[in-house]
Amino acid sequence: MRKISDTIARLAALRARHATHTADLGASDHLQTLADFGTNPGGLGAKFYIANHLSKGAPLVVVLHGCTQNAAGYNHHSGWSQLADEAGFALLFPEQQRGNNPNLCFNWFQPGDTKRGSGEALSIRQMIETMVVTHGLDRRRIFITGLSAGAAMAAAMLATYPEVFGGGALIAGLPYGSATTIPEAFDRMRGHGGSSEQDLQRALRRASDHRGPWPRISIWHGAADHTVSPSNAEAIAGQWRGVHRLEEAPTRVEAAGPHAKQVWRNGAGEALIEINMIAGMGHGTPLGNGLGAPGPYMIDVGIASTREIAQFWGIAATEESASRTSRPQVPASERKLPQSPAPAMENAKTMPPHLAALHQFPPHTESGQPGVKKLIEDALRAAGLMR
């Protein structure tokens, strides 16, 4: 086991290396604050973005920033709100607080924060439920992505709440359950030690009582990443191949320039897992083709991972199609907030109790209007996310 003195030294070096990047945290903040979303046992903050022309039953994408980043900065550099306006979906940005982690990392290595029903994981789940109820979003199309520590926390959400998500995308991340202490976290980041593929698969199955269907997983990594070893990409794929009942060998392998891709498809030809490895790229999110903006750990390699991830999930058109069908932008001040779907009592009879209860809530109400907080809390209680 790594000595505690070595761990402290590595933490100090990490903080010093990241110190020059903190000035970028407030870039282009046009996100709104999600103030009331339950008991919030993990003590997280939350921001959100409602796209132009959002239709009823739109998808929701949950985006987790990396260490030293925040919601506004990651949104600005990744281009998620830009793509949301184009494709018509909502965004949720959980945000770490310095009181939880001085480097603003999500605590993906703390068992209390990555267990179903507790800590940061439950806080994020409460945020998601609040967004769905408040804005009338599609429960079948909820997706989650993140960078580095955000990716590792996204992996924890996919493992502990797999019934919630249609898919996930992990950028420079690590498999769920690969570390439970800070020393272990540094070792796994370097590609040292760790559980076998069978143990990782068992950890995933034990994280919830869910038995399928399972989220689709898109994995992204720089082949020259010296912060989180690229070996973690294959470890993530191996962890998820078990529940998807896929063979070890990929169904398809392709390459275009620095972008190499492995794809695992099921018998129906659906892509369930993919690994995207970017040759020569270090630690960060791949950017390109006019979507997003370069910055610390946001690397322009001519590949718009944000768009490709949304395409993998089936919620965004190709770049060529998008340019032909782009719609005029509407200033935020003139946007109309969407209405929740009308109650469907004839369908509620056949729904699980917590979903039936949510369908009885009235349409979206502006924040600050009397009763809104109570409606949200009632929804969280009905879903078993708040007592």
Burial (CB < 10 A; 0-12, 13-18, 19+), residue 367, is middle
DSSP 141: -
Task: Give the span between the Cα atoms of 299 and 313, in whole angstroms.
Answer: 22
User: Per-residue confidence at 188, pLDDT binned at 50, 70, 90?
Assistant: very high
C-alpha Rg value of the chain to the nearest Å = 20
More confidently predicted of 4 and 105 = 105
pLDDT of res. 309: 98
Task: Give the span between the Cα atoms of 176 and 155, in whole angstroms.
Answer: 5
Q: Is the pLDDT of residue 279 over 60?
A: yes
Q: Which residue has the tokens 């997003």?
A: 292
pLDDT of res. 29: 65
Q: What is the dihedral of CA 151, 155, 156, 158, to 10 degrees?
A: 130
pLDDT of res. 338: 34
Q: Is the pTM of this model over 0.85?
A: no
∠ CA(270), CA(271), CA(275), 5° rounding? 170
For 328, the 3-state DSSP assignment is: coil
Task: Give the span between the Cα atoms of 139 and 311, in whole angstroms.
Answer: 18
User: Per-residue confidence at 370, pLDDT binned at 50, 70, 90?
Assistant: low
* Options 148, 218, 229, 305, the catalytic residue: 148
Q: Is the pLDDT of residue 220 over 90?
A: yes
Q: Is the pLDDT of residue 74 over 50?
A: yes
b/e map of 114-128 (b: 16 or more CB within 10 Å)?
A: bbbeebbbbbbbbbb
- For the question of residue 148 being annotated catalytic, the response is yes
User: Per-residue confidence at 317, pLDDT binned at 50, 70, 90?
Assistant: confident
Full set of structural domains in the chain with CATH: 14-338 (3.40.50.1820)
For 94, the 3-state DSSP assignment is: strand
Going from the C-alpha of 180 to that of each of 15, 150, 177, 315, the distances in angstroms are: 21, 16, 7, 34
User: Per-residue confidence at 239, pLDDT binned at 50, 70, 90?
Assistant: very high
User: Per-residue confidence at 235, pLDDT binned at 50, 70, 90?
Assistant: very high
User: Per-residue confidence at 265, pLDDT binned at 50, 70, 90?
Assistant: very high
b/e map of 229-263 (b: 16 or more CB within 10 Å)?
A: bbebbbbbbbbbbbbbebeeebbeeeeeebbebbb
Mean of the per-residue pLDDT values for the chain?
A: 84
In tens, the pLDDT along 2-61 reads 454 454 445 455 554 444 444 355 445 689 999 999 999 999 999 999 998 898 899 999
